[in-house]
Amino acid sequence: MFSKVWEHCSASVCCLNFYNGHGVLVDTLTGFKINKSLVTCEQAFYVKGAHKVEIRFVEADANTPKATLRVDYKEFIEDLRVGFTNNQADYAVFNIDFPEFESIPGLTLCERWNYPIGMSVAVLGFDGNIQNLAIKTGIISSAYANKQGVRYLQIDSITCYGNSGSPVIDPQTMQVVAIVSRRKTPAAKSYQDLMSYINTNLEELRKIENRFMLGDIDPIQVLIANQNQIKLLANNIYKHTANGTSQAVMLDHIITYFNEKAIIDKPEVLGALQEVELKTNRE
């Protein structure tokens, strides 16, 4: 069953690599093609320090590049962005109507409102540390809504760094039922808090750097180096630690966008709707 998911869906899933001004990889997400658009998680709008973004689809062997495009990050989030940042719905849509991606097939979105607990699903995503596409299996273990009313599925499936933005696939219909969110776990919250503390420590230490000397050694520089080592260690632990459960945003808002776009892209449908509206107003 899951081999069929790979065969049918893997060609539509891409890796999003974000590079800083020195060409160093700073973040990795997964995305997937719908029509001529790219869908991923909202984190794509807020990658700190990113200068370039590489969009890469792979062959069925999970590694060989099939179609690749690299664009300026500013162009990506300003010119190619569809919709709004900070949309409170944990998703991002970008226009990828480029010749490079013309032959890439698109996935379809499932318009069901509810999914049964215990339903089998597959997750297709890029493992950021190795940069390969992988399929993972699991079940829907729960469902909930946040304070803004955005609905999520809790997926009992192993996910890791790079999997944010992955499509959650119903293996019976081959349709997307949800999108894996950036990790929202107590461990992720602790990591973010630790990064904040370290950055604050570094700011304060740099204010008094070179003021105190012990012989030829500046003890403040030693403390700065120590904080940077802890920061590097925390980053590596965060990136290499997999999660046993994942949160995946449901498609309510995205389906609305694509349905509205479909109407606008088909003048005959839009015209028919306008005629109905005019007739209703006359009556």
pLDDT in tens, 85-138: 666 778 899 999 999 999 999 999 998 888 999 999 999 999 877 889 999 999
Q: Are residues 120 and 210 in the same domain?
A: no
The percent of residues in the chain predicted with pLDDT above 90, rounded, is 54
Average confidence score pLDDT of the chain: 85
Per-residue confidence (pLDDT) for residue 200, from 0 to 100: 93
Could you tell me the pLDDT band of residue 247, with boundaries at 50, 70 and 90?
A: confident
Q: How many CA atoms lie within 13 A of 6 on its CB side?
A: 13
For residue 113, the enclosing domain spans 2-185+243-267
Q: Are residues 210 and 258 in the same domain?
A: no
Residue 233 belongs to a domain: yes
Asked if pLDDT for residue 280 goes beyond 50, the answer is: no
Domain count, the chain: 2
Cα torsion angle, 109, 147, 166, 53, sign: positive
Q: Are residues 233 and 253 in the same domain?
A: no
Q: Are residues 48 and 108 in the same domain?
A: yes
Per-residue confidence (pLDDT) for residue 86, from 0 to 100: 62
Quick: pLDDT tens for 190-218.
777 888 999 999 999 999 988 888 888 88
Residue 274 belongs to a domain: no
Could you tell me the pLDDT band of residue 189, with boundaries at 50, 70 and 90?
A: confident
Q: Are residues 174 and 43 in the same domain?
A: yes
Q: Are residues 117 and 224 in the same domain?
A: no
Q: Are residues 106 and 222 in the same domain?
A: no
Which one is predicted more confidently, 245 or 208? 208
Which one is predicted more confidently, 146 or 261? 146
Which one is predicted more confidently, 73 or 85? 73
In terms of Cα–Cα distance, which of 172, 183, 167 is closest to 133? Answer: 167
Identify the CATH number of the domain in which residue 258 sits: 2.40.10.120
DSSP code, position 42: G
Q: Are residues 130 and 233 in the same domain?
A: no
Match 């808090």 to its residue by tokens: 193
Where is average pLDDT lowest: 117-126, 200-209, 225-234, 256-265? 256-265
Q: Are residues 99 and 207 in the same domain?
A: no
Q: Are residues 169 and 70 in the same domain?
A: yes
Asked if pLDDT for residue 270 goes beyond 50, the answer is: no
Per-residue confidence (pLDDT) for residue 146, from 0 to 100: 85
Residue 278 belongs to a domain: no
Residue 100 belongs to a domain: yes
Q: Are residues 253 and 118 in the same domain?
A: yes
Per-residue confidence (pLDDT) for residue 272, from 0 to 100: 45
Per-residue confidence (pLDDT) for residue 223, from 0 to 100: 92
In angstroms, the CA 138 to CA 159 distance is 10
Q: Are residues 263 and 217 in the same domain?
A: no
Asked if pLDDT for residue 178 goes beyond 90, the answer is: yes
Residue 21 belongs to a domain: yes
Q: Is 127 exposed, middle or buried (0-12, 13-18, 19+ CB in 10 A)?
A: buried
pTM to 2 decimals?
Answer: 0.79
